[in-house]
Chains A and B, each alone.
Chain A
Amino acid sequence: NAGVTQTPKFQVLKTGQSMTLQCAQDMNHNSMYWYRQDPGMGLRLIYYSASEGTTDKGEVPNGYNVSRLNKREFSLRLESAAPSQTSVYFCASSRYEQYFGPGTRLTVT
């Protein structure tokens, strides 16, 4: 099992550009999550999906959109990137405890 995979691993964007971060899990979990991690801030929840077809806002949803494409895949989209969105993004999935992907390091200049 690959667990939780994320693409890309690294990305540099210019302010105003858009991009989609991809996440997939092969553990047949219903719930999936997107977090961002900033120095000294821990992990903060952006959006989550309790099941296929449902999504809900987390603590810091502004500037992001998500799509739960199917049970396996949960994507995060930045429509117009801003320097404040420079961060490391983690996807996770869970049944009882959360399993994390390796992260995407995003820089917005």
Chain B
Amino acid sequence: AQSVTQPDIHITVSEGASLELRCNYSYGATPYLFWYVQSPGQGLQLLLKYFSGDTLVQGIKGFEAEFKRSQSSFNLRKPSVHWSDAAEYFCAVATTQGGSEKLVFGKGTKLTVNP
């Protein structure tokens, strides 16, 4: 069965520092991979997605992620974190069943940003 692991439940960084959030997936075929962000009390917003092609994908808000097939990873990065990036981040892998894409989510990584 498909699964997504986000090893870090909670990460704290200082404003201006670099950030890397880890994501490992388990999926037999070529995966479709996503990162979503959720601010407190809000819904999920798509940060970026990987379907195929270039393994380094750019997203909104200055985020990027790199797909590494050999490591079954899709880690999210940002060179310089802003206080407004404090939120919870979810990695997800898509599976196709019955003509519909279903997402399997990791349990999330909560990011705290210190001033």
| A pairs with B | yes
Chain A CB within 8 A of B107 CB: yes
Q: Name A's interface SS.
A: strand
Number of interface residues of B (CB under 8 A): 22
**Residues of the B chain whose Cβ atoms lie less than 8 Å from the Cβ of A4:** 43
Quick check: A42 and B43 within 8 Å, CB to CB? no
- What 0/1 pattern do residues 72 to 100 of B give for CB contact below 8 A with A? 00000000000000000010000001111
Chain A CB within 8 A of B19 CB: no
**Residues of the A chain whose Cβ atoms lie less than 8 Å from the Cβ of B31:** none
A103 and B101 alpha carbons, distance in the complex (Å): 20
Chain B CB within 8 A of A61 CB: no
Quick check: B102 and A45 within 8 Å, CB to CB? yes
In the complex, what's the smallest C-beta–C-beta distance from A34 to chain B, in angstroms? 12
A98 and B90 alpha carbons, distance in the complex (Å): 13
A103 and B43 alpha carbons, distance in the complex (Å): 6
In the complex, what's the smallest C-beta–C-beta distance from A41 to chain B, in angstroms? 6
Quick check: A42 and B102 within 8 Å, CB to CB? no
Chain A residues engaging chain B, CB cutoff 8 angstroms: 4, 30-31, 33, 40-45, 48-51, 54, 56, 58, 90, 92, 94, 96-103
Chain B residues engaging chain A, CB cutoff 8 angstroms: 9, 34, 36, 42-46, 49, 51, 90, 97-103, 105-108
